[in-house]
Amino acid sequence: MYGYQLRSEFEASTGSTWPLNVGQVYTTLARLERDGLVEPVGESDAEGRVTYRITDAGRAEVAGWFATPVNGESPPRDELAIKLAMALTTPGVDTHRVIQTQRTATLRSLQDLTRLKARADEQADAAWLLVLESMIFKAEAEVRWLDYCEVRITAAPPPAPVELPSKEVVR
Amino acid sequence: MYGYQLRSEFEASTGSTWPLNVGQVYTTLARLERDGLVEPVGESDAEGRVTYRITDAGRAEVAGWFATPVNGESPPRDELAIKLAMALTTPGVDTHRVIQTQRTATLRSLQDLTRLKARADEQADAAWLLVLESMIFKAEAEVRWLDYCEVRITAAPPPAPVELPSKEVVR
DNA sequence: CGACACATGTAACACGTTACATGATTTG
DNA sequence: CAAATCATGTAACGTGTTACATGTGTCG
């Protein structure tokens, strides 16, 4: 395929959710070519299009990707978890409020996702549908986790206020 | 605090899981100072330490961060979901195998996490514990999602093989 | 004609991350 | 004394991302 085409396919399948800057397609294509995973087939054609083709190395890379499990983020960069952890240990932050704010936001996005899913169901794009369902699962899990946290922290109140200023730390 | 100290605290609280390169502390500190969120208090002291202090702007930033919900990744960059979606639509990929590989990997990491949690429970570091629990919740949700996907794709077999090569795409 | 879709590409930035350089101080 | 720890910092890279530059073809 050529760059513009890749973008078109993508936009079509995601129903123009998930905006994708065309420029990024070209930068990525260039980087893939640099790494030998992809190669241009001939020069630009009459309409100025430059078609690319996957190489053997590229195929190997893809195969490897499919064969290798995704290692769930180590170290953990989960912003929400970190935020809650920080809220809990930072004096003067209403953790309860933070949780509630997040909860309503997550519920709202869950609604949006459900709406999108309905659209995707009609459209019958299996790939995009799968991604959406994954997001729904995640959002639901997030709500469950938030509820769990709430119980957890109301049960065990802040573990004695920390004294920040003094505290000789290292050694 | 000063840079080295920040790193020490961090390592201590995460039990030396989550390795953190010291250099990163200094680059980050420098960038925070550049943005006026943090400022050095005086020059380097006798032992060569440079202490930093949060500014009002920094405090405001933090407050804003706590008040704003995390918007769950839009566009969705979930590698696993994308991988499965691609597996489903790429001819010649055994989606079943991909799911199984991931499933065992996730279960294994779930074990590790549980072990870590036991350690954290003794250590009683509330923040780190919370992060760990979040990861456990996520891992469990992932397994559930994988099981759901498996049922989903064995129930509805690949939606008629796609013809790749032809397909006039744009327009 | 002027606007819009098609099509390609480049320059630039921020951020996360690492490897390396440099010294002072402690400790076996 | 040598090795380890404490402590700071810089140069560099890769990637995701955007804004911009440029040109062709189509259509109301």
pLDDT per residue over B1-15, tens digit each? 999 999 999 998 888
Per-domain residue ranges of chain A = 3-67, 79-155
Strand D atom within 7 Å of A48 CB: yes
CA of A10, C1' of D28: distance in angstroms: 29
At residue A120, the pLDDT reads: 87
At residue B123, the pLDDT reads: 82
Nearest residue to nucleotide D14, by CA–C1' distance, is: A31
Mutation for B interface: A128, A138, A140, most B CBs within 10 A: A138
Note the CATH architecture for domain B3-67: Orthogonal Bundle (1.10)
In window 55-84 of A, residues with CB < 7 A from nucleic chain C are 75, 77
The closest of A121, A143, A141, A139 to A130, measured between CA atoms, is A121
Mean pLDDT of A37-64: 91
Smallest Cβ distance to A67: which of B19, B101, B109? B101
For residue B52, which phi and psi values (nearest 5 degrees)? -115, 155
Residue A99's identity, in one-letter code, is: I
B66 with A87: Cβ contact below 8 A: yes
For residue A39, the Cα-to-chain-centroid distance in whole angstroms is 28
At residue B159, the pLDDT reads: 55
Strands (E), A26-146: 38-40, 52-54
What are the pLDDT digits (tens) for A107-160?
999 999 999 999 888 888 888 899 999 999 999 999 999 999 999 988 766 555
Q: In the predicted model, is pLDDT for residue A168 greater than 80? A: no
Global pTM reads: 0.85
Q: What percent of chain A has pLDDT over 70?
A: 91
Nearest residue to nucleotide C15, by CA–C1' distance, is: B28
Q: In the predicted model, is pLDDT for residue B113 greater than 70? A: yes
Average pLDDT along chain B = 88
**Residues from chain A contacting residue B139 (CB–CB below 8 Å):** 72
A149 with B128: Cβ contact below 8 A: no
3-state secondary structure B126-167: HHHHHHHHHHHHHHHHHHHHHHHHHHHHHHCCCCCCCCCCCC
- Closest Cα in chain B to A92: B63
A112: left (phi over 0), alpha (psi -120 to 50) or beta: alpha
- Closest Cα in chain A to B64: A98
At residue B17, the pLDDT reads: 87
Smallest Cβ distance to A72: which of B81, B109, B149? B109
Give the sign of the dihedral formed by CA A51, CA A54, CA A58, CA A62.
positive
The residues near B121 (Cβ < 8 Å, ≥ 6 apart) are B129
The residues near A79 (Cβ < 8 Å, ≥ 6 apart) are B70
> Per DSSP, what are the bridge partners of residue B53?
B39
The SS3 of residue A121 is: helix
Instruction: Give dist(CA A161, CA A90) in Å, integer.
Output: 9
Rounded to the nearest angstrom, the minimum Cα separation between A155 and chain B is 13
Strand D atom within 7 Å of B3 CB: yes
* Whole-Å CA distances, B89 to A37, B7, B34, B85, B93: 20, 45, 46, 6, 8
The closest of B10, B7, B47 to B29, measured between CA atoms, is B7
